[in-house]
Structure 1
């Protein structure tokens, strides 16, 4: 979400393409979108999918190749007619503001994660977070020799919900200072880059759709399991934002007095009761043992919650997949998935098509990775 006059000014001036064009024209953008989603696509396939005449496709592709935005795919050293984005043409950063830490991700134009960094902080105030984030971004840019002129912008993922359509958020109490400010504007000023803001669940879903197993599915529901339980929705490859940007607040489907929320704080409490001390939930994936005492108890407590949300998601959205992600350990997700029961009416010997339920592919800094996709999504997709 772009907000504020300052941010829009940065958007207009941040990046020039090839021969000085500020933004892609509609047909160019349609071509780049097809190339991004289908690496190795041919001009004939682009013309068929976009309904742009092949002669026009050929002319525009030649221009985009000349500008360096896309290039031909090589097959075992032999030239090919297939196309893909030029990964070095542009880069994006993603910043995740967590409850007691930040994460940074660097992504290239091909949608590949170049680097991630997780940093725990004692002070989650605005000045502390932005100072550390700026230092990490500068360090990454130096390490990977990223030209500042090639940076499209920085996306931000943060825990909370949007209060209105002006981009202000009601954030988690642990990051109180970030509440009710224009986050996009604040981050844009700090980095002198255009900034986009989403809540953490939507951000993680956006990242999974580009850099994870979600890329296989045009439509999926993402279960964000972290300190709290939320989610994100992807339809036809695009984020569903809703009226205010709060679509995918799956935790609000579960009245707390009736259902145990499937979050990692509950898991940590149960494990501690059984004598198992775990590190930060952001490192839990590295050490998790599915045979720890207390794991089955957590699954038992949250089973009905998973069933309800999965059933509602399937019934409402008819998605191809439900992806279990966030900061949940992969081995725990693998143990949960076979037990999730998606209800559907049985008629004439069959149920309606059910979504696949799978583990997320992005396990390192998922919110930051998702935030890094936001400039690409806005500029090119």
Structure 2
């Protein structure tokens, strides 16, 4: 399995486009990544895992402890000679981040700690209102969640992660949504408006990429470095993780599986495409399931309605599931052929027992259709379910502030801060 490697054996050094401060910062983040994956480790464990000298690892531990990002949790008695080793772990209250999941069918805001635990949340299940109203809802929710932190902890907020489809005004016919609600969103820089309303740095990403970052930072990514991520929500989102880092693409839309071409749906409830081909979100999305549960009515079943339909074994759910698998299989096969990733992680906004069935059937379909001399990728369930979107958003300031990303070595760009100290090379918004 490929792992991101630290640079230099002493925490300092020089290289093209890099300097000792950048190398030191990169190696600090390597140490944080090791602790995130291992849960706890001694100084000697960290030195071995990071390939750093005792002096270098000691200086990094001292710096991270001073910043409140790691803490001691006791001694390890392994029966050997000498003093028992002091064990270290991430400090859960060492940093905090807000996450805003802005979707066509709802708004959710969460506050998480450095360990990825949700401290508080506020959710609104509704068709997205006009931008001014939505920004005001988010502002009030963030002000309310602020009260869950002490004044000292509020100074450790790394920013707001914003996860949203980059084109909220698109694909409305396929999703059965009213155009008048969404067209204004294509004229608004949501991240800039949210920064102005909250006075906090905003880290904006495609919603599928954000959910993939949560999986990388807090879920399967703790032991897997390469995977294609799919999230089945009102639409379907995707993200790509390679070599332990997120792949954004030129416009931030890498792994945008929603627009992958597929054959038209066989369901009578599906809208007819304008041409020979349709796109994946028309078939493999909860919007498609909702449309099939209430065809021709204009009604959109809520998340709880969909889960009830799944639990009640309504035949429409099985019909949609057949159509969904039929569309997902060639999409995943194409992604596997292009990217050569060994793993596909699938998560969903609802469950009710449906997701395990979907995964089992998708794995079987991929194996049955694998071409000669090629194996099918593994299919695994994601870690967070309906929390993936909001946690993905909240992961963004944590990820860009504390992950050992290669761009650190070529110089930082825009920075977030903890206690006023810049610690991020946040990517520019699109």
Contact kept? 1:91, 1:151, Cα under 8 Å:
yes
Question: What is the CA-CA distance between 1:123 and the residue it aligns to?
Answer: 5.8
Question: What is the CA-CA distance between 1:83 and the residue it aligns to?
Answer: 2.3
Separation of aligned partners in 2, 1:286 and 1:366: 21
Select which of 181, 184, 190 maps to 2:197: 190
SS in structure 2 opposite 1:378?
helix
Match of 1:151 in 2: 157
Contact kept? 1:47, 1:57, Cα under 8 Å:
yes
Question: What is the CA-CA distance between 1:263 and the residue it aligns to?
Answer: 1.1
Residues 1:262 and 2:284 aligned together = yes
Residues 1:47 and 2:47 aligned together = yes
1:31-42 matched pairs, under 5 angstroms: 31-42=31-42
SS in structure 1 opposite 2:353?
helix
Match of 1:131 in 2: 136
User: Which one is further off, 74-83 or 257-266?
Assistant: 74-83
Residues 190 and 52 of structure 1: CA distance in aligned 2, closer, same or farther (over 3 Å)? same
Contact kept? 2:103, 2:128, Cα under 8 Å:
no
Contact kept? 1:96, 1:371, Cα under 8 Å:
yes
| TM-score, normalisation: structure 2 | 0.72
Residues 293 and 75 of structure 1: CA distance in aligned 2, closer, same or farther (over 3 Å)? farther
Residues 100 and 251 of structure 1: CA distance in aligned 2, closer, same or farther (over 3 Å)? closer
1:13-24 matched pairs, under 5 angstroms: none
Q: Which runs of 5+ in 1 are unaligned?
A: 1-20, 163-168
**Alpha-carbon deviations, 1:10-67, whole Å to 9, x = none?**
xxxxxxxxxxx9x973332332233233321333333234332222101221232233
SS in structure 2 opposite 1:47?
helix
1:72-151 matched pairs, under 5 angstroms: 72-74=72-74, 81-121=86-126, 124-145=129-150, 147-151=153-157
**Alpha-carbon deviations, 1:128-149, whole Å to 9, x = none?**
1121112212222213546321
Question: What is the CA-CA distance between 1:373 and the residue it aligns to?
Answer: 0.5
Match of 2:215 in 1: 208
Residues 1:344 and 2:370 aligned together = yes
Separation of aligned partners in 2, 1:286 and 1:73: 44
SS in structure 2 opposite 1:297?
helix
Separation of aligned partners in 2, 1:295 and 1:46: 49
RMSD of equivalent CA atoms: 3.2
Residues 1:271 and 2:293 aligned together = yes
Residues 88 and 365 of structure 1: CA distance in aligned 2, closer, same or farther (over 3 Å)? same
Match of 2:10 in 1: none
Q: Which runs of 5+ in 2 are unaligned?
A: 1-20, 79-83, 173-178, 265-275, 404-430
Question: What is the CA-CA distance between 1:328 and the residue it aligns to?
Answer: 4.0
Contact kept? 1:337, 1:358, Cα under 8 Å:
yes
User: Which one is further off, 335-344 or 242-251?
Assistant: 335-344
Residues 1:230 and 2:234 aligned together = no
**Alpha-carbon deviations, 1:188-233, whole Å to 9, x = none?**
1111111111111111222222344454422221112122223111
Contact kept? 2:98, 2:110, Cα under 8 Å:
yes
Contact kept? 1:98, 1:159, Cα under 8 Å:
yes
User: Which one is further off, 118-127 or 186-195?
Assistant: 118-127
Question: What is the CA-CA distance between 1:258 and the residue it aligns to?
Answer: 4.1
Match of 2:30 in 1: 30
Residues 44 and 309 of structure 1: CA distance in aligned 2, closer, same or farther (over 3 Å)? farther
Separation of aligned partners in 2, 1:156 and 1:129: 13
Question: What is the CA-CA distance between 1:170 and the residue it aligns to?
Answer: 7.0
Match of 2:226 in 1: 219
Larger Rg: 2
**Alpha-carbon deviations, 1:89-136, whole Å to 9, x = none?**
110000011113200121111222223331134662222112111221
Residues 41 and 76 of structure 1: CA distance in aligned 2, closer, same or farther (over 3 Å)? closer
Contact kept? 1:228, 1:265, Cα under 8 Å:
yes
Residues 200 and 219 of structure 1: CA distance in aligned 2, closer, same or farther (over 3 Å)? same
SS in structure 2 opposite 1:316?
helix
Contact kept? 1:188, 1:195, Cα under 8 Å:
yes
Contact kept? 1:221, 1:231, Cα under 8 Å:
yes
Match of 1:315 in 2: 337
**Alpha-carbon deviations, 1:306-356, whole Å to 9, x = none?**
111221222222324212224242622211122222243344xxx44x432
Separation of aligned partners in 1, 2:77 and 2:96: 26
Contact kept? 1:43, 1:57, Cα under 8 Å:
yes
